[in-house]
Amino acid sequence: MYQQLKDRINDNNVKVGIIGLGYVGLPLAVELGNKGMQVTGFEIDREKVGLINKGTSYISDIDSAAVAALRKAKKLAATTDFKLLGQMDAIITCVPTPLRKSKDPDVSYIISATDQIAKNLKKGQLIILESTTYPGTTRELVLPMLEKTGLTCGQDFFLAFSPERVDPGNKNFTITNTPKVVGGITSKCSDLAQRLYSKIAGTVIPVSSTEAAEMVKLLENTFRAVNIALVNEVALMCDRLKLNVWEIIDAAASKPFGFMPFYPGPGIGGHCIPLDPHYLSWKLKTLNFYSRFIELAGEMNSRMPEHLVQKIVDTINDRGIAIRNAKILILGVAYKKDVSDVRESPALDILKLISDRRAKIDYYDPFVASVKMENGSLRSLPHLNGIGKYDAVVIVTNHSNIDYKYVVKNASLVIDSRNATKGIRSSSIVRL
């Protein structure tokens, strides 16, 4: 089984199934298809399936032309029929792994996907999990479900973990030039996964186990979360000291060794950084180990929306304006620049906190048409004309296609939490 699958991968003669066609799964499907492999995406969302089969992309990082070309070449298809998993040579799971309100891992999507794989598992298949999760998930959760079929891992089928490293909106680093980490249940599992990913990634780095590969992703994002928390705390310190935190960071970053710049903001959001460290923290708690850094970082980062809102309140109060009934415009509600994703976005907390203070609030985001609020939804303004009527314009997400010179020129007050107005001099700008 191993040799047969190895030969098919080497010859690009493999059918690859990808479960989950989101921001991870669809780019992966496109890259594999571009290398000549037959790719089938498995989705429960019928709308996504319909769009893919029409040659249309719903992911900002993937052009519809790329999807249409693969459809025309018959290298990409999407389906809701999970029975077709049995026809695949390799299956890659790219489903969400959110946190419950208790901050415990919610692996229900992984369980559901693995259940579908198990129902259709055949000899000679390579199964890879890409969804971010706690160390031990592949071996302790996925492996037993697959071996309940009576097939043996490393002999009848092959199982590996390879953490996704997609950075939405990043044009410089993509799947092809970002090293891929792979860890298998057995050496043969690892070898097959390496061979498959080497078709699309310039560098593939094997590690000793699935647990090691799972830990790699959690270390990466815990590193970011902790350092962002540190610089957010430094921002609060600089605020008290009447110093410009952005100036401090830029000066410190001139040191060519021993320092890596991180930047403060109104909080952290997205699918990874706010969640992944808690997966690690939860796992360690089961082993009676309490992670102080992770818990403190989470606490610090979660305080930033409140800090920004208090700065808004204090700043307009100094101008003789009460927050109640004040007109506030939020610029950007996506969790990061140049994407449409609002998952865990600090802007959602900021909108709620301002609304709770009875201010009149609008937002403008060229990537996000509407957001859900407690009492319905809020739609983006169609343009920035008339921003002078607002008591404060607050930059929460620094999208590249917003003209900040125009904003500063026409707004009476700009509160900038992202340093988007760097280089623009005006007494109307107040920075985080």
**89-119 per-position pLDDT tens digit:** 999 999 999 988 777 889 999 999 999 999 9
Is residue 238 annotated as a catalytic residue, yes or no? no
Which three-class secondary structure state does DSSP give residue 212? helix
Listed residues 208, 225, 246: the one ending a domain: 208
CA 117 remoteness from chain centre: 25
Q: Which helix (H) or strand (E) holds 159?
A: strand 158-161
The whole-angstrom separation of Cα 10 and Cα 309 is 56
* pLDDT tens per residue across span 315-342: 999 999 999 999 999 999 999 999 999 9
271 pLDDT exceeds 80? Answer: no
pLDDT at 60: 85
Listed residues 179, 208, 237: the one ending a domain: 208
Across residues 58-73, what is the average pLDDT? 95
227 pLDDT exceeds 80? Answer: yes
Same domain, 288 and 193: no
Report the candidate in 60, 45, 252 with the shortest Cα–Cα distance to residue 171: 60
In a domain, 412, yes or no: yes
Which three-class secondary structure state does DSSP give residue 2? helix
pLDDT at 274: 86
Report the candidate in 392, 342, 406 with the shortest Cα–Cα distance to residue 362: 392
In the set 94, 189, 238, 272, the catalytic residue is: 272
Same domain, 402 and 308: yes
| Residue of 2 and 102 predicted with greater confidence | 2
Radius of gyration in angstroms for the set of CA atoms belonging to the chain, rounded to a whole number: 24
pLDDT at 142: 98
**What amino acid is encoded at 86 in this protein?**
G
DSSP H stretches of helix in 166-209: 187-197
Give the residue numbers spanning the domain of 422: 266-431
In a domain, 237, yes or no: no
Which neighbouring-strand residues pair with 415? 394, 430
pLDDT at 299: 94
Same domain, 280 and 426: yes
In a domain, 7, yes or no: yes
Q: Determine the angle formed by the axes of helices 2-10 and 187-197, rounding to 10 degrees.
A: 10
In a domain, 102, yes or no: yes
Which neighbouring-strand residues pair with 429? 414
pLDDT at 135: 96
pLDDT at 124: 97
Quick check: 432 and 245 in contact, CB under 8 A?
Answer: yes
pTM for this entry: 0.93
Same domain, 201 and 62: yes
**For 325, phi and psi rounded to 5 degrees?**
75, 5
Same domain, 76 and 194: yes
The whole-angstrom separation of Cα 305 and Cα 266 is 5
Please tell me the total count of domains within the chain.
2
Q: What is the DSSP letter of 265?
A: -
**How buried is 162 (Cβ within 10 angstroms: 0-12 exposed, 13-18 middle, 19+ buried)?**
buried
Across residues 46-59, what is the average pLDDT? 96
In a domain, 58, yes or no: yes
In a domain, 223, yes or no: no
* pLDDT tens per residue across span 171-221: 899 999 999 999 999 999 999 999 999 999 999 999 999 999 999 999 999
Confidence label for 399 from pLDDT (cuts 50, 70 and 90):
very high
In a domain, 6, yes or no: yes
Q: Which of 23-32, 127-136, 275-284, 343-352 has the lowest mean pLDDT?
A: 275-284
Q: Find the distance separating the first CA and the last CA of the chain, reported in whole Å.
A: 59
pLDDT at 273: 86
Q: What's the chain's average pLDDT?
A: 95
Same domain, 296 and 390: yes
The full length of the chain comes to 432
Which CATH number do you get for residue 64? 3.40.50.720
The whole-angstrom separation of Cα 250 and Cα 263 is 10
9 pLDDT exceeds 90? Answer: yes
Q: CA-based angle 389:394:399, to the nearest 5?
A: 115
Same domain, 173 and 306: no
Across residues 67-80, what is the average pLDDT? 97
Same domain, 162 and 17: yes
* pLDDT tens per residue across span 360-379: 999 999 999 999 988 889 99
228 pLDDT exceeds 90? Answer: yes
Which three-class secondary structure state does DSSP give residue 81? coil
Same domain, 310 and 204: no
Listed residues 192, 208, 224: the one ending a domain: 208
pLDDT at 176: 92
Q: For residue 72, what are its two tokens? A: 């025309």
In a domain, 133, yes or no: yes
Same domain, 157 and 27: yes
Same domain, 204 and 272: no
Same domain, 154 and 28: yes
Quick check: 43 and 49 in contact, CB under 8 A?
Answer: yes
Work out the percent of the chain whose per-residue pLDDT is above 70: 100
432 pLDDT exceeds 90? Answer: no
Across residues 142-170, what is the average pLDDT? 95
